[in-house]
Amino acid sequence: MVENTKSIDRVAGLILALGMGFVLLPLVVALVTATQAYETVLTGGLSWLPGDQLLVNIARVFEETALPGQLVNSFVAAMLVATLKCLFAFMTALAIVFFQIRWGGALFALTLVTIMLPLDLRVITTYQVAADVGMPVNLVLDVFGIGPLMRLSVLDTWFGLAAPLVAHGTGTFLFRQAFLAMPRDLPRAAVMDGAGPVRFALDILLPLSRAPLIALFIMMFLGGWTQYLWPLVAASRPDMQTAVVGLSRLANDMPGAVPDYPLIMAGALVVSAIPLAMVALLQRFIVRGYALSEK
């Protein structure tokens, strides 16, 4: 900095300490409460002194609740969202940027519109579509007086949890930017060397887009894991719900004189452990992911 103003640095330090305190407060409360016995919380309320029941409470999460299976659902759904999104977005951007297609611009514009209206806004009708994915086919057949061809609901399936989240344009936008930012001569040289589109995509484009690809994958994984409204409606059977939804249902439905906060907090820790570890360890990719979405 320009001048060595100790007092300003001290204020800045204080501000950062307060900010970190605010971020850590609920996490610490969750952790400390998860170490306590139910009876302790019942009589003493929120306390800052750790107890010795952490493992007991976590064991109870795995034995008494449906969360273990729901964690699998969360993991599979988040993996599906991240994988399909990266794959499909890469393919679409590849076609738009490197292929001779006349309607590429229009297609790109139609893809971008999806960014403005998030899934949570249109959940009512998306639900109806997910309950009857053959709807467009059947609507057409209806016009010709032919009966329905396909009756298929993707509610309560992993695919149904993930697919509507994949129908979103950020990835395409991102890859298109990355492709356009590459040196123009590179693809031309490759083509002159006789590389076909597939080899070009796999051998040249893919390695060059590693950074945005990883960032996008992580962001989409986190997004898929922490989604709430869509999984809430798309999977109602407890064995198909995601962990975040399962935890929230657990807290609301559980009988007990006072909600079993140690168990709920232990559940919150278990549910958040994987994404939280990803955030703490893969920090730089997240910063990059945010930087990408900025462009």
Distance, CA of 19 to CA of 146 (rounded, Å): 63
Q: Does residue 143 touch another protein according to CB under 8 A?
A: no
Binding string, residues 46-85; x marks residues near another protein by CB under 8 A: x-----------------------------x--xx-xxx-
Query: Would you say 23 or 55 has its CB closer to another protein?
Result: 23
Residues 236-255 that bind another protein (CB under 8 A): 236-238, 241, 244-245, 247-249, 251-253, 255
Q: Does residue 11 touch another protein according to CB under 8 A?
A: yes
169 with 111: CB under 8 angstroms? yes
SS3 284: helix
Contacting residue, 117, 140, 146, 149, with another protein by CB under 8 A: 117
Residues 201-230 that bind another protein (CB under 8 A): 222, 225-229
Query: Would you say 8 or 55 has its CB closer to another protein?
Result: 8
* Count, residues near another protein per rule CB under 8 A: 141
Contacting residue, 164, 209, 215, 216, with another protein by CB under 8 A: 164
Give the distance, in angstroms, between the CA of residue 74 and the centroid of all CA atoms in the same chain. 10
Q: Does residue 35 touch another protein according to CB under 8 A?
A: no
Query: Would you say 19 or 68 has its CB closer to another protein?
Result: 19
**CA dihedral (183, 188, 192, 193) positive or negative:** positive
Amino acid identity at 60: R
Q: Does residue 134 touch another protein according to CB under 8 A?
A: yes
Residue 56 beta carbon to another protein: minimum distance, rounded to whole angstroms: 19
The contacts of residue 237 (CB under 8 Å, 6+ apart) are 156
* Residue 15 vs residues 10, 12, 18, 25: alpha-carbon distances, Å: 9, 5, 5, 15
35 with 51: CB under 8 angstroms? yes
Query: Would you say 62 or 136 has its CB closer to another protein?
Result: 136
**Any idea how long the chain is?**
295
147 with 141: CB under 8 angstroms? yes
Nearest to 27 by CA among 278, 287, 284, 273: 273
Residue 55 beta carbon to another protein: minimum distance, rounded to whole angstroms: 20
Residues 166-195 that bind another protein (CB under 8 A): 166-169, 172, 184, 187-188, 191
Query: Would you say 55 or 287 has its CB closer to another protein?
Result: 287
Query: Would you say 35 or 126 has its CB closer to another protein?
Result: 126
Would residue 45 be called left, alpha or beta, if left means φ above 0 and alpha means ψ between -120 and 50 degrees? left
Residue 284 beta carbon to another protein: minimum distance, rounded to whole angstroms: 10
Residue 52 beta carbon to another protein: minimum distance, rounded to whole angstroms: 20
Q: Does residue 149 touch another protein according to CB under 8 A?
A: no
* Residue 41 vs residues 23, 53, 259, 261: alpha-carbon distances, Å: 23, 12, 10, 7
Residue 254 beta carbon to another protein: minimum distance, rounded to whole angstroms: 9
